[in-house]
Amino acid sequence: MSAPATNNGSAWAPPSTARTRLVLVRHGVTDYSIDKRFAGRSDLPLTADGQEQARRAARRVLALGPVDAIVSSPLRRTRQTAELIAERAQRPVTICDGVIETDFGAWDGLTFAQARQQSPELMSRWLADPSVAPPGGEAFDAVTSRVRGALEQLLDGHAGETVALVSHVTPIKVLVRLALDAPPTALHRMFLAPAAISVVDYYADGPVSLQSFNDTSHL
């Protein structure tokens, strides 16, 4: 089951195949998220509050229904979150490099204001053009390419199952954008809270349906 290229208006058509559900979970807070800093490949742990958020998210994920598989970005903050879901689901955690956070390069660890002060012209271009990368980092086009590849692998490997996918702001927003067949600018128009849950359903015959986005009711 490969990822559908577009939605094709198929939400109006009844699906004829079993659904594959991705329960998308952003990790809990870290020191960087509290300070609103770019947190790309920095391997940060959850704070105490982040661990509590992750515990609550784990309860919410299982309340939504049985989970067949748990997949996580390789970074520590996502693995810690995924492990709490795994304890409840009694399932192992599989690591997927394709859903790691964007590499923000020289901006990693900086606030938005600090990065703009450091690279004002580049920041404006980065916000306007998904092919532009931060200094020494990764463009959103590149992130989209690898996330799309990871999605295809997940849908092929877990057809008809429910997968809890623990990742970061950008990969989750990319998955939502692709589900909605929205333009790249949509990435800048979504807010995703720490430990928020979003749900997307996929069907082999085409339909894709965003069931929820940025659910924080458990927090």
4-47 per-position pLDDT tens digit: 544 444 555 666 678 999 999 999 999 999 999 999 999 999 99
CATH number at residue 128: 3.40.50.1240
**Active-site annotation holds for 27:** yes
Print pLDDT tens along the chain (219 aa). 555 544 444 555 666 678 999 999 999 999 999 999 999 999 999 999 999 999 999 999 999 999 999 999 999 999 999 999 999 999 999 999 999 999 999 999 999 999 999 999 999 999 999 999 999 999 999 999 999 999 999 999 999 999 999 999 999 999 999 999 999 999 999 999 999 999 999 998 888 999 999 999 999
109 is a domain residue: yes
Catalytic residue (one of 27, 138, 158, 168): 27
15 is a domain residue: no
SS3 114: helix
Catalytic residue (one of 52, 83, 87, 101): 101
Domain span holding position 71: 25-158+173-215
**Active-site annotation holds for 138:** no
Q: What is the distance between the alpha carbons of residues 182 and 129, in angstroms, rounded to a whole number? A: 15
Q: How many domains does the chain have?
A: 1
pTM of the model: 0.92
